[in-house]
Amino acid sequence: MQLLWILMKHAHPHNHLCSLTLLGNLVAKPDIRYLANPVVAVAEFTVATHHKWFDKNTNAKKEWTHFHTVKMIGDVVEKTLNFADKGDVVLIQGHLVDSIKTRQQIIHATYAHTYAKGFVPSINQIKLSGVICSAIKLVETANHKKLAECTIRSHLSAFSPNHQTVRHLTIERTIHVWGKQAEYLVESATVDDEIIIDGNLSYINNKDKTQLIDVQQLVLPKT
C-alpha cells in the first residue's frame, strides 16, 4: 500500500504503461551481488523464450529462440533466485529500461518465480503505450507481406529499491506491425499520436541486440 502511495505521489504527468511477462528457461545460474549503503541484492540473468511457427514457403515447422537480458534489484532477488540454476523455468514480470551501466536495452524485473527444470511453452507478451515519435514507414517484404515500422516513446514511473524513490524513465523502441494493421497504422496515425500495443519482445540482429516489438494488436485512442 505504501509503494502504491509513493507511485501515485510521484507519478509522471504523462505516465505510460509498460508491462512485460516472460516464461522461459534460465540460460545460466543468476549472478547475484550486493550493493552497499544500503545493502541491496542485485541479480543479472538471461531468460530464453522460444517461438514456433509453420513456414508456408518451406512447409516445415520452425523455431526461433530469444535471449532476454534481465536485471532484478531488492528483496525479491533473495526470495526467488537464491537457489535458481541453469535450465530452471522462470516466470518474470517487469518493464523495459535502458541500462545506465552498459547502455543496453534490457528488462528490469519486479517479480520472479522459478520452477523445476523442464520444457514448457514459452510466454512472451508485452503491453506498451506511448507516443509515435518517428515517421511511419510502410514496406513490402520479400514474401510480399506488408510491414509498417516506427518508433514509440514512453514515459514510465518505476520504484527503485536501491534509492527508495520513484524514477521517471523515458524509453524509445521500434515496433513492427504486419498486414492490415500495418495499412491501418499508416493511414490513420502520424507523429505525436498516442498508441497502445500488445505484442512480443524481439531483437534486431545487430551487435547491440536492440529490442524490437512485434505488434499483434494496436489501438489508436484518437480514432
pLDDT at 208: 84
Domain that holds residue 205: 2-219
Grid coordinates belonging to 74: 531488492
Per residue of the chain (223 residues), give pLDDT as tens.
Answer: 444 344 444 444 568 999 999 999 999 999 999 988 788 999 999 999 998 766 666 777 778 899 999 999 988 898 999 899 999 999 999 999 998 888 899 999 999 999 999 888 999 999 999 999 999 999 988 778 899 999 999 999 887 776 677 888 899 999 999 999 999 999 999 999 999 999 999 999 888 889 999 999 999 997 5
pLDDT at 56: 67
pLDDT at 212: 97
pLDDT at 6: 41
**Which of 90, 101, 35, 41 has the alpha carbon at shortest distance from 68?**
90
Q: Is the pTM of this model over 0.95?
A: no
pLDDT at 211: 97
Number of domains in the chain: 1
pLDDT at 163: 66
Domain CATH number, residue 184: 2.40.50.140
Grid coordinates belonging to 200: 512480443
pLDDT at 162: 67
